[in-house]
Structure 1
Amino acid sequence: MRFREPEYFFAALRFFTRLPVPAWVGHSQDQLDQAARYFPLVGVIVGAIGAGVTEAAALLLPVSLAVLLGMVATLLATGAFHEDGLADAIDGFGGGWEKAQVLTIMKDSRIGSYGAIGIGTALLIKYTALTEIDAAFEPPFLALALVAGHAVSRLASTALIFALDYVREDETAKSKPLARRLTGGELLVAALFGLAPSLLLGWSALPSLALVGLVTLVAARYLVCRIGGYTGDCLGAVQQLTELAFYLGLLCVFF
């Protein structure tokens, strides 16, 4: 039997980022169906890109600018994939009352006032938290925090794929790797990649992981109550919110 895990990983990398993948990977529905287990590993890579750019820029520029450039690097690497999901989700839940209204608004490619305010606020909180982490901890803590934050936040989204139902009914959406419920084994693989980077932070990561877990549980409960499950935009929103929760948890240890 052919070992296909590299194909599944590269399918995840291609779907969740703008990064190039080898031509031999090809395209298939099976690859997409199996890709979600590597969502946290993609987060490790995106976080490493952000950390690398931040650390390199800090050699020549003030830390405030280095952090901003690192954030830009992750936005370019993902094509603002999750930030777009956050904006759409905030627009949907902010402007819709019934399930159908929420889903319709989220599917609209235009951004509304709720989404614009939400994404602006989220980016500002992230920027401030990262600059404070750099000031509070010795190097290379910030770089490790970036990798861990990107990884564990994607694990949080992956946990929703495991636990909740996908609520969009159009067939084109179901062709995405976000629509198939994960098995327990696939969640275990995701957890391995999602939690491993946090080990490098030691005990400092425990409050952050607890806060990430709490935000994930609250988000899951809210999504079930409002629309009965999740959409791709909801997963992007949870990734963004839990990444922020991770960084804020680190600061709670220091202050």
Structure 2
Amino acid sequence: MPIMPDATTAPSPPPRWTQDAALALVFLTRLPLPPIGPLNGLLNGPLADGASARAMGWFPPVGALIGLAGGAVYAAAAALHLPPLAGALLALMATVRLTGGLHEDGAADVADGFGGGRDPARKLEIMRDSRVGSYGVLALVFSVGIRAAALAALPVPAAVAALAAAGALSRCGLAAMARVLPAARRDGLAAAQGRPAMATVLLALLFGVAIAAVALGGLALAALAASLLAVAAVAALARRQIGGHTGDVFGAAQQAAEAAVLLTLSALIGAAAIGAAA
């Protein structure tokens, strides 16, 4: 006779990676978790130890999904025969809608704090102010303008691939930044998140490289180098300005890396097109 399972036995917990992936999705986007499926209910109870730090390993896949959403909007705009710049701006608007402007807000706060503060304490105080100053406004204008201009220079298939790759690559170096730099504050979201393990850093890089390779082919290494250099530059600036990282610094690093990837791809693809026409 088969042994019937005990009805009082608690179901086995889901794999830890599912909670990490769900946490990355919830943190980076405004998307609700699906009411059914493996992600349902994963974040209703207490988080596993280190889940917030481990979630950074899943930032690149979530970023790729955000980029693909923007790419779909860009392709739809092209199908409607809208000008490329208008399509690029609409695509970026779609990504901002998905993220709630999380990274743009961080970049604006960093620009205000680093530009307006006289010492680290004052810079951190300004960064916590919900008001946006002239440095922050200019940072947003340049961030959106540079990314839109680079995107508008790409043909539709390349633009869709570039947005997916940029979404992943601009987030694959954030775990490394969190591991290398100390938190600039003892409180705050970045400090509470904790220092990711090296395995998390490697997972994020692996995801970023794999997604870029699929989307970009031979251009993946150049795009990866551009993203990591941008993140490293923001990290070095943050260390000098405030002694470490904050959540706003992560947002600024993402914006800088995404712009670097799109600029690199627009330059390389444009040069290849010129060479083919010659």
Aligned length: 248
- The correspondence of residues 1-16 of structure 1 with structure 2, limited to 5 A, is 2=13, 3-16=15-28
Number of the residue aligned with 1:52: 72
**Which of 154, 159, 172 in structure 2 is aligned with 1:133?**
154
Which structure's CA Rg is the greater one? 2
CA drift of 1:175 comes to: 7.0
- The correspondence of residues 151-162 of structure 1 with structure 2, limited to 5 A, is 151-162=168-179
- Percent of paired sites with the same residue: 38
Residue 185 of structure 2 aligns with an amino acid whose one-letter code is R
Where is the helix percentage greater, Structure 1 or Structure 2?
Answer: 1
Instruction: Structure 2 unaligned segments of length 5 or more: list them.
Output: 1-11, 35-39, 272-278
Separation (CA, whole Å) in 2 of partners of 1:227 and 1:184: 24
DSSP-derived class of the 1:133 partner: coil
CA 1:175–1:207 in structure 2 vs 1: closer, same or farther (change >3 Å)?
closer
DSSP-derived class of the 2:153 partner: helix
Number of the residue aligned with 1:222: 237
- The correspondence of residues 164-243 of structure 1 with structure 2, limited to 5 A, is 164-170=181-187, 172-173=188-189, 176-177=192-193, 180-199=194-213, 200-243=215-258
Q: For residues 13-71 of structure 1, what are the alpha-carbon distances to aligned partners after superposition, in whole Å with 9 as ceiling and x for unaligned?
A: 11111011134122434343432221112101111111122112321132333222211
Instruction: Structure 1 unaligned segments of length 5 or more: list them.
Output: none
The answer as to whether partners of 2:108 and 2:132 remain within 8 angstroms in 1 is: yes
RMSD of the TM alignment (CA)?
1.8
121-130 vs 197-206, greater mean Cα deviation: 197-206
Separation (CA, whole Å) in 2 of partners of 1:175 and 1:238: 17
Mapped pair 1:244 → 2:259: yes
Separation (CA, whole Å) in 2 of partners of 1:176 and 1:72: 30
**Which of 85, 94, 101 in structure 1 is aligned with 2:122?**
101
30-39 vs 84-93, greater mean Cα deviation: 30-39
**Which of 45, 56, 67 in structure 2 is aligned with 1:36?**
56
**Which of 90, 97, 101 in structure 2 is aligned with 1:80?**
101
Q: TM-score if structure 2 supplies the norm length?
A: 0.83
DSSP-derived class of the 2:70 partner: helix
